[in-house]
Amino acid sequence: MYQAVRSRGALRPTAPAVPQPRSPRFRSLTDAEALRVLHRGARAMQDDLPDLTDRLVAALREQEPAYRAAMEADPAATWQEAHGSLRHSVASLLDPRTAREEARRCSWRIGATRAEHGFPLDALLHAFRLGGSLVWQGLVEETSRRAPDDVRLLVHVAADVWNFVDEHCTLVADAYRQVERRLAWRRENRLRLLTAALLDGTSRIADLPEAAEALGLPEQGRYAVVAVSAGAAAESATARASAVPAGMRVHWHTGVDVDHGIVLLEADDALRRLAPAPGAPEGARVGVGLPVDGLAALGDARRHADAALGICPETGGSVRLHEQLPSALLLSSPELGRALAEEVLGPLLRLEPSDRDLLLDTLAAWLECGGSAQRAGTRLYCHRNTVLNRLRRCEQLTGRSLTRPTDVVQVSLALAARRLLRT
């Protein structure tokens, strides 16, 4: 985890990005004696930096698992980073005017580098605070050894020392979060690109393992794509949640008008369970495509889902494509669908609108009622004989017999084409 502090890419903020906190000021000239004590202790620590670094590294190894793992991977890098940070910190105590800017840049680089390698921020901040504690402890120990009576003077500079530690913790956290945001944006953008390529069917075979890892889904699994269109942006999340039951593994790809969900079908009945549940927003439309094998086939699965969505009524509802394959065939070839509607229903379509709609609605109701004139009459609020009379008229105008199966299929498909293609 813990790598050497050096530039490894464009993610690291450059020096101009370093914030410029206020320079601490000692409170009054009466603290001159305290400054003298501070400088004396700092010069002693400057001469003994390797030992101070060893103490810090040993404390980190003992107290922070993240550092323990980093030192196992590259102990020299950890030591060098700690040594550099302590060196700049102690130099800042002796000559704040010339040393503090370089100390800030050092802390910023450490925060940025750690973020690039995914090192925990809390462990990094603990390291800086621990380093500050060791520096303060070193000042007290050196002063106690040389002039015990001067220890009381360190009280006058304690606030400045700890303000320095807090300042650098803030620098580290700012650098870390800046790089973390950039990395997150790159990951999210890469994930979106990978998902879009899968759904478009343009993904390269070489990219499939990366896509599987990014999505957290197996490369060789059984999948379906769900297409969801909600009436308002505020309803999209509710519509998605209603389309895919809780517990099913799904990755959503948000679009302008339609959201697509890549659903892993882990159970035999998983496809049947994909449909809006009670509480789905009014007007939401859901299309469930055919199942496919493997991420490489998601382009076909997305086209299936879009076809199912195209069959959904504009008022809302859901369609599973495997239950509406004839309609899907019509949508796949709109020109042929329109030609079929004109060929079969042409004479009806050229009637007066009121007469045309009456006969077409009767045909549709009769087909939906399984060829029962009685049930169709109940639906249309008329007598069964009225239904039969209208059907006979349809037969006369179209030249199709509703007792002949092939003619019934043609009439049914022609009605579906008119509805779906709005001919």
pLDDT tens across 129-141, in order?
Answer: 999 999 999 999 9
Does any domain span residue 4? Answer: no
Q: Looking at per-residue confidence, does 256 or 51 come out higher?
A: 51
> What's the domain count of the chain?
3
Residue-averaged pLDDT of the chain: 87
Half-sphere exposure (Cβ direction) of 5: Cα atoms closer than 13 Å: 17
Q: Which among 206, 310, 320 is positioned nearest to 265, based on CA atoms? A: 320
- Phi first, then psi: give them for residue 14, nearest 5 degrees: -85, 175
Nearest to 228 by CA among 115, 296, 318, 363: 318
Q: How far is CA 137 from CA 76, 110, 134, in A?
A: 25, 23, 5
Q: Look at residues 302, 323, 344 and tell me which one is the last residue of a structural domain.
A: 323
Q: 244 and 178, same structural domain?
A: no
Q: Is residue 372 part of a domain?
A: yes
Q: How distant is the alpha carbon of residue 157 from its chain centre? A: 48
Same domain, 175 and 232: no
Question: 268: burial class by Cβ within 10 Å (0-12, 13-18, 19+)?
Answer: exposed
Regarding whether 262 and 115 lie in a shared domain, the answer is: no
Residue 97 to residues 25, 37, 232, 380, Cα–Cα distance (Å): 11, 18, 58, 92
| CATH number of domain containing 412 | 1.10.10.2840
Pairing of strands 222-229, 259-264: antiparallel
Q: Is residue 399 part of a domain?
A: yes
pLDDT at site 278: 57
User: Domain check: are 54 and 152 in the same one?
Assistant: yes
Mean pLDDT, to the nearest integer, of 1-30?
A: 41
- 309-330: burial string, b at 16+ Cβ within 10 Å, e else: bbbbeeebbbbbbbebeebbeb
Report which of 297, 321, 291 is spatially closest to residue 309, judged by C-alpha positions: 321
pLDDT of amino acid 274: 85
E strand or H helix at 187, and its extent? helix 155-200
> How do beta strands 285-288 and 317-320 pair?
parallel
Residues 342-352: pLDDT tens digits?
Answer: 999 999 999 99
114 domain residue, yes or no? yes
In a domain, 211, yes or no: no
Structure confidence at residue 285 as a pLDDT band (50, 70, 90) = confident
Instruction: Return the half-sphere exposure (C-beta side, CA atoms, 13 A cut-off) of residue 88.
Output: 21
Q: Which domain holds residue 297?
A: 217-323
The verdict on pTM exceeding 0.75 is: no
Q: Compute CA 43 distance to the chain's CA centroid, rounded to the nearest angstrom.
A: 52
C-beta neighbour count of 182 within 10 angstroms: 17
Q: What is the widest separation between alpha-carbon atoms in the chain?
A: 119
The verdict on residue 6 lying in a domain is no
Query: How many H helices and E strands in the chain?
Result: 16, 6
CA distance 267 to 291: 12
Q: What confidence score (pLDDT) does residue 73 get?
A: 87
**pLDDT at 3 > cutoff 50:** no
